[in-house]
Amino acid sequence: MSLSEKDYNIIEAYLDGNLQPEQDPYFQDRLKDPSFRQELSTQASIQDAIKSNTNHAFIQKLKSSQPTPLDKNNNKWRLGILIILSILVAAFVLYNYGTNQSQTDTPPNQLAYLVPYPPQTFERGTDPTWTDSLSEAMQLYSKGSYAEARYEFQAKARDQEIVKLYIANCSIFMDDFETAKSELFALRASDDQQIKQNADWYLAMTFYEMGQKQHCFDILDQIIGSSNHLFYSKAQQFISQKR
């Protein structure tokens, strides 16, 4: 008996695992036909054969192949990673060089804790409340020319508290601790909390630099007594390391 289109569809569905329950009685019935069974068996073998033939051909291809590096994309990745690593190493070396330079620029008696006001380098000399007359002083201060900056500050706006803070800072970094001390003492009485708290810290540092450690730690103890003090964390670190 020859096979119908329906027979071929049923065989395909069975071998694909897609035989529906309603197709099953027909399938079971057709199994009685030797020609149906032969076709079913042939198609099953063909499906297996195509897989094993492809795999066999692939194994032959593998066995006869030569070792090759991975594809170009992979080499690009490797090259990319190498470039990134080189940049990182260069950046690290430059950063260390810069850090060492700034450390050697700093006088040896000055502490890492003692950085000019304000601590954020980018804010130095950019106070919006400054008048044009102070811009020259601020530029000098930003450049680290403390003697010239202090002269300009004293000449232009001697009465402003923030200017006094800058003058005190200039004095500290000129090792003129006495001037710094007198300026900062006065500023500790300021109503402006930011000015006052900066004065606390810089006065403590001035005492430390002057070798008057007890005065320094007295002020630092006062700072750490107020958890919302601007220099609370710094004071804690300083005490834990220096006391």
Partner 1 sequence: MDVDAIRKDILNGNDQFLIHYYHESKRLCIGYLIKRNLCSSDEAEDIYAESIIILRDNIIQSKLKHSTNIKAYLKGICHNLAVNSIKKKVKESEKSEQVRLLFYENNYSIVESEELEHKKKICQKALATISKNCQRVLTLFYVHNLSMIEIAKEMNFSGKDVAKSTKSRCYKKWIEQINQMYNLSL
Closest CB 1 distance from partner 1, rounded Å: 15
Task: List, in order, residues 6 or more apart from 189 with CB less than 8 Å away.
Answer: 196
Interface with partner 1 includes 58 (CB under 8 A)?
A: yes
The dihedral of CA 234, 241, 213, 102: what is its sign?
A: negative
Interface with partner 1 includes 102 (CB under 8 A)?
A: no
Instruction: Please give the distance of CA 181 from its chain centroid, rounded to a whole number.
Output: 39
Among 4, 12, 98, 233, binds partner 1 (CB under 8 A): 12
User: Tokens for 45?
Assistant: 């073998």
State the Cα–Cα distance between residues 13 and 1, nearest whole angstrom.
21
Q: How many residues bind partner 1 (CB under 8 A)?
A: 38
Among 41, 194, 236, 237, binds partner 1 (CB under 8 A): 41
Closest CB 43 distance from partner 1, rounded Å: 7
Taking contact as CB under 8 A, which single stretch among the options 59-67, 88-96, 109-117, 208-216 is the one that binds partner 1?
59-67
Closest CB 88 distance from partner 1, rounded Å: 22
State the Cα–Cα distance between residues 1 and 75, nearest whole angstrom.
62
Helix 135-143 vs helix 161-173: angle between axes, to the nearest 10 degrees?
A: 30
The answer to whether the CB of 69 falls within 8 A of the CB of 79 is no
In the complex with partner 1, the residue whose CB is nearer, 21 or 34, is 34
Among 6, 29, 54, 226, binds partner 1 (CB under 8 A): 54
State the Cα–Cα distance between residues 146 and 127, nearest whole angstrom.
17
Name the phi and psi angles at 107, rounded to 5: -55, 145
Among 6, 24, 26, 31, binds partner 1 (CB under 8 A): 31
Closest CB 77 distance from partner 1, rounded Å: 8
Interface with partner 1 includes 75 (CB under 8 A)?
A: no
Among 6, 44, 91, 95, binds partner 1 (CB under 8 A): 44
The H or E element that residue 43 is part of is: helix 34-64
In the complex with partner 1, the residue whose CB is nearer, 55 or 236, is 55
- Amino acid, res. 40: L
Among 49, 88, 91, 93, binds partner 1 (CB under 8 A): 49
Task: List, in order, residues 6 or more apart from 119 with CB less than 8 Å away.
Answer: none
Residues that bind partner 1 (CB under 8 A): 8-9, 12, 15, 28, 31, 34, 37-38, 40-55, 58-59, 61-63, 65-71, 73
